Amino acid sequence: MYGLKQSPRAFWKYLTSKFEAVGMKQSNLDPCLFIGTEVICIVYVDDLLFWSVKEEFIYDVGIKLCDQGVDLEEEGDAA
User: Whole domain around residue 50: which residue ranges?
Assistant: 7-67
Residue 12 included in any domain: yes
**CATH number reported for the structural domain that contains residue 13 in this entry:** 3.30.310
Count of domains in the chain? Answer: 1
What are the residues facing 43 on neighbouring strands?
A: 48
Is 65 exposed, middle or buried (CB count within 10 Å of its CB: 0-12, 13-18, 19+)?
Answer: buried
60-75 per-position pLDDT tens digit: 999 999 999 999 999 8
Q: In this structure, how many other beta carbons lie within 10 angstroms of the beta carbon of residue 63?
A: 12
DSSP 6: T
In a domain, 72, yes or no: no
Residue 58 lies in a domain: yes
pLDDT (tens digit, 9 = 90+) per residue, 40-59? 999 998 889 999 999 999 99
